[in-house]
Amino acid sequence: MARVKVNGVSLNYQESGSGPETIVFSHGLLMDHTMFGPQRAAFERQYRVISYDHRAGFVRMRLAARYPELVRTLTLMNTTAEKEKLSNRIRYGFLAQLVKLIGPAPFTPIAVKELFGRTTRHSESRRPMLEVWTAKLRARPKNIAHSLLAVMNRLDVTGEVSSIRCPTLIITGEDDTAQPPENSQSLAAAIRGAKVICIAGAGHSSSLENPDAVIAAIREHMQPA
């Protein structure tokens, strides 16, 4: 695993493949770069592919808004530009304090329910993947609480993302309860020309729950007009 130091912090990253263009995968809260393993395998034959670990989330939409020259196309998955609801900020703020004290292991079932939809949680074929990620979530360090607090207390950036002008695909999961499909519709309304695709049988981790559908959606989105 390669590492790069950014603002004094050492971050893991993985680079593979080659091609005239680069795809960068940026993972969500509590996850890591391996959540895009299926997509990496699919795209590294044609593209240079980079995925990396970072400390929080909600990065890519800000990059596209602030540095448009760096982004040709944008795919946003299971996300929103709005701030978190007050009820969730209170709930997860309390949970973060407990994680700081005793670690995340006792709260893993909560995380699994938030990150994976009901179809995945009741699927025999997806059980091995779910078990791998359950173990990863259980093993997260106590300081993951800082990322949880940062994401829960994020600002509303709806106004900022309205300046995005690159072709934008928004992927949502039909079983996503953390960021329901209606949130993706609101996000699409803020970005000119954005297209929304709902992934069947997926919750908040579409790239893992229905990887083939996500690959197909991204591949179509990246084709030249």
Q: What are phi and psi of 127, to 5 degrees?
A: -60, -45
Query: Residue 110 domain-assigned?
Result: no
CB 81 within 8 A of CB 190: yes
CB 120 within 8 A of CB 78: no
pTM of the model: 0.93
> How many whole angstroms from its chain centre is CA 33?
10
Report pLDDT for 139.
Answer: 97
Query: Residue 134 domain-assigned?
Result: no
Query: Residue 68 domain-assigned?
Result: yes
As a whole number of angstroms, the distance between CA 125 and CA 221 comes to 28
Phi-psi region of 123 (alpha: psi -120 to 50; beta: other; left: phi over 0): beta
User: Smallest Cα–Cα separation from 92: which of 132, 34, 148?
Assistant: 148
Report pLDDT for 40.
Answer: 96
Domain encompassing residue 202: 2-86+145-222
- Would you tell me the crossing angle of helices 144-152 and 86-102 to the nearest 10 degrees? 170
Q: How many domains does the chain have?
A: 1
CATH code of residue 18: 3.40.50.1820
Weakly modelled stretches of the chain, pLDDT under 70 = 56, 224-225
Query: Residue 108 domain-assigned?
Result: no
As a whole number of angstroms, the distance between CA 9 and CA 7 comes to 6
User: Residue 203 to residues 13, 48, 209: CA-CA distances in angstroms?
Assistant: 25, 28, 7
Query: Residue 65 domain-assigned?
Result: yes
Query: Residue 63 domain-assigned?
Result: yes
Query: Residue 194 domain-assigned?
Result: yes
Cβ-Cβ contacts under 8 Å for 150 (sequence gap 6 or more): 55, 56
User: Residue 25 to residues 47, 88, 171: CA-CA distances in angstroms?
Assistant: 12, 26, 14
Cβ-Cβ contacts under 8 Å for 130 (sequence gap 6 or more): 112, 116, 120, 121
Say whether 163 sits in a helix, a strand or coil.
coil
Instruction: Please classify residue 121 by burial: count the beta carbons closer than 10 Å to its beta carbon, then call 0-12 exposed, 13-18 middle and 19+ buried.
Output: middle
Report pLDDT for 224.
Answer: 67
Report pLDDT for 225.
Answer: 56
Query: Residue 179 domain-assigned?
Result: yes
